[in-house]
Amino acid sequence: MLEGLDPEQREVATALHGPVCVLAGAGTGKTRAITHRIAYGVRAGILQPSSVLAVTFTNRAAGEMRGRLRQLGAAGVQARTFHSAALRQLQYFWPKAVGGTLPRLVDRKVQLVADAAASCGFRLDRGELRDVTAEIEWSKVTQTVPADYAPAAALAGREAPRHPAEIAQVYAAYEDLKRARGVIDFEDVLLLTVAVLQDRQDVAEQVRAQYQHFVVDEYQDVSPLQQRLLELWLGDRDDLCVVGDASQTIYSFTGATPDHLLDFRARHPDATVIKLVRDYRSTPQVVRLANALLAQARGRAADHRLELVSQRRPGPEPVCTEYSDEPAEAEGAARRIRELIDSGVPPSEIAVLFRTNSQSETYEQALADAQIPYQLRGAERFFDRPEVRRAGVALRGAARFGGNDSLLDGAVDLPSQVRAVLSGEGWTPQPPAGSGAVRERWESLAALVNLAQDLAAVRPDATLGDFVAELDERAGAQHAPTVQGVTLASLHSAKGLEWDAVFLVGVAEGMMPITYAKTDEQIEEERRLLYVGVTRARERLYLSWALSRSPGGRPSRRPSRFLNGLRPGSPAAGGRPAAGGPGGVERGRPGSPPAGAAPPRRTRRTPARCRVCGRPLTDGGEMKLMRCEDCPSDMDEGVYERLRAWREIQARRSGQPAFCVFTDKTLMAIAESVPEDERELARIPGVGARKLTRYGTDVLAICAGRDGDGLDERD
């Protein structure tokens, strides 16, 4: 199990106890390291497959992890996204914790947001609708209610697509509309799971009894809400392994933050920290440019960057090209892509990456004119395509009645059987001429043929039924096979992927960094986004920009400031050595943060104890009450009931579930202590600074026997 791992990867694979933090640079084999870690623990009898939960951020990554674990003999391990894992738990526990059936989950919320905006008298164009939807999603993962949106957005430096008061109004209407229609969205899945685990000790204990060991991939991308869910899964245990790279934090606009990764050692002083810096993906030339790009970075993530060391043989130098206008840039990229394909590079190993999706049209046209097949990543999902759906029906029928299907006569193995069935759906051994819809349909079917070949290579005895089961599992996880065409994708959607040749286009001021990136933090995230693009390339890297948008336009553009000192003839830019140090292992000691670490943001506290019997408390609900669930309560029932009535009114006003105001346990804790001033109220777990500011006056008034704001309001 450990053969073929480098020394640092082997350290990851054998570090099976206690908190472990893996700082893994791009291309350093982190997925290989953590899947071998899980499989090694299972094979050694240290980990039970059913007790391990591995979570990541995309269905594709989760599907890849499950596939690798199966090959390594750890098929029973759960590998899911945060949302998928939470949804399974919510579906299972909802009848017990809430009653009835779980409300229907809406797959896409855009239409609901459009209806909510219309109910407020607002007409949103397509771009505004997408942006307002993103603001609602950000609000929910940062646990911001509609009434608090405006100040929270200003504090976070967000560029609101409309007046913040209007977005807050649409957000509130959206929540009302969901309740009226009896549906929930993906963010609700996390919010409701957190609420159930916080308020139902029996449910939390059952989940913790099921899962004993947690692995979190891409930990730099966790949101505050996801971190809270992870903490509830863990309870008082520390059997946790996190993997991430602060230099690849590119989703802060969705609420992601690298702080949880960067503060891991401060929260867990006894953690083992392992750094992976051996880059097996990219040539020394590509790695050198990537390191130089980050050497100019500033900020907290930059302070912890890793200096990659390429393990590959030398390759060609990255190529920087300036064009007169955008069409010329697209045509230049298409010419080079044609040369690469003619030299033997498969189209599926070439990608064109851009900052915004609006840039793709020019490149689609240029590739079509050059008769180069391409696929748009982030467009219609693979398993939703009509030809893929029809192919699935045909394959399922053949798997069931294959013995009576003349198409399968002479088909002796799985690939030949799949080719035979799909020939009836339009697949041919040679692709059709040209591009367009016919070619796209053929590419989809060809991807299924290639997937059958891959499955047969791993499992020579695989049947058509096994292939259909594989397709069903991939469809459920939206883990699409590779389509044989040049990939066109935004830099954000390219995260986690890699190609032999990468074209980074439009690398000009105003696009990279994007115009609306104003603050130092936003500029640095744009730099990290370019870094992610650079590190997608294995061998060949092309960077280009255009001086004007249209032919004959004024050449007013200039190359991105990020290329200063990196492209020939550019002014030098100051750099600094990596603070993250070389690869290796740091073994923590309780109470001893690593040298040079930032001051701890949160230190470990002594165990909370029941104020009645003195027993240590581990459950979140009990810690809020500062007593065991079974110990006698001295709660003021009158105060508790008045707090509950007040909470219902506040929940209706804010458009949020009641638990988002205060949970039942927090209300019980308030009614038991009956605080007399803000200082006493602030000591109660569950009453943070924001809630103290917003609700403190009302709560203290109720505790003092007076009415809180709106307590006498009637529907």
Residues facing 338 on adjacent strands: none
CA distance 112 to 60: 27
Answer yes or no: is pLDDT of 562 > 90: yes
Mean pLDDT of 707-715: 50
Both structure tokens of 72: 């390594």
More confident position, 619 or 556: 556
For residues 54 and 78, the answer to whether their CB atoms sit within 8 Å is yes
Q: How far apart are CA 344 and CA 683, in angstroms?
A: 67
Interval 84-111: pLDDT, tens:
999 999 999 998 888 888 889 887 888 8
- What pLDDT was estimated at residue 319? 95
Question: 214 forms bridges with which residues in the sheet?
Answer: 53, 240
Residue 506 labelled as part of a binding site: no
Phi, psi dihedrals of residue 276, rounded to the nearest 5°: -105, 115
Which one-letter amino acid corresponds to residue 597?
Answer: A
Spatial strand order of the sheet with 499-504 comes to: 319-325, 537-548, 499-504, 350-354, 486-490, 374-376
**Close Cβ partners of 212 (under 8 Å, ≥ 6 residues apart):** 47, 48, 51, 52, 237, 239
> How large is the average pLDDT for residues 249-272?
87
Q: What is the pLDDT of residue 224?
A: 87
Least confident of 197-211, 361-375, 513-527, 701-715: 701-715
| 503 has a pLDDT exceeding 60 | yes
Q: Confirm whether residue 31 is marked as ligand binding.
A: yes
Cα angle 278, 62, 230 (rounded to 5 degrees) comes to: 90
* CA atoms within a 13 Å half-sphere pointing along the CA-CB vector of 682: 8
- The pair of three-digit structure tokens given for residue 502, joined into one six-digit string: 């990468």
Mean pLDDT of all residues belonging to the chain = 84
d(CA 443, CA 375): 9
Q: Answer yes or no: are the C-beta atoms of 490 and 353 closer than 8 Å.
A: yes
User: Token pair of 411, please?
Assistant: 């088909």
Phi, psi of 673 (to 5 degrees): -90, -25
Distance between CA atoms of 698 and 678, rounded to whole angstroms?
11
Amino acid at 551: P
Is 60 exceeded by the pLDDT of residue 604?
no
Residue 543: how many other CB atoms lie within 10 Å: 26
Average pLDDT for 295-323: 90
Q: Give the pLDDT confidence of 440-477 residue by residue, as tens digits.
A: 678 788 888 888 988 888 888 888 888 998 888 877 66
Residue 394 has pLDDT above 70, yes or no: yes
- Judge whether residue 715 has pLDDT over 50: no
pLDDT for the residue numbered 592: 45
27 is in an annotated binding site: yes
Q: Which of 126-140, 271-285, 381-395, 435-449 has the lowest mean pLDDT?
A: 435-449
CA 325 to the chain's CA centroid: 35
Rounded to the nearest angstrom, the gap between the alpha carbon of residue 421 and the centroid of all alpha carbons in its chain is 37
515 is in an annotated binding site: no
- What's the pLDDT score for residue 478? 59
| pLDDT value, residue 287 | 96
Confidence class for position 589, pLDDT limits 50, 70, 90? low
The pair phi, psi for residue 497, each rounded to 5°, is: -110, 170
Range name among 245-254, 622-631, 658-667, 677-686 with the lowest pLDDT average = 622-631
* Torsion sign across C-alpha atoms 699, 701, 704, 705: negative
pLDDT of residue 380: 52
Higher-pLDDT residue of 327 and 620 is: 327
Confidence bin at 622 (pLDDT 50/70/90): low
Average pLDDT over residues 165-175: 91
- The reply, when asked if residue 30 is annotated as ligand binding, is yes
Looking at per-residue pLDDT, the higher value among 614 and 349 belongs to 349
340 or 396, higher pLDDT? 340
- 195-232 pLDDT, tens digit per residue, is 999 889 999 999 999 999 999 999 999 988 899 999 99
Mean pLDDT (whole number) for 685-705: 84
Average pLDDT over residues 691-697: 85
29 marked as part of a ligand binding site: yes
Residue 444, amino acid? S
SS3 652: helix
**What is the b/e burial string over 389-405, where b = at least 16 CB atoms within 10 angstroms of the residue's CB?**
ebbbebbbebbeebeeb
Percent of the chain at pLDDT > 90 equals: 36
Question: pTM of the predicted model, to two decimals?
Answer: 0.70
- Token duo for residue 366: 């240029």
Contacts of 492 (CB under 8 A, 6+ apart): 250, 251, 529
Q: Which amino acid is at 247?
A: S
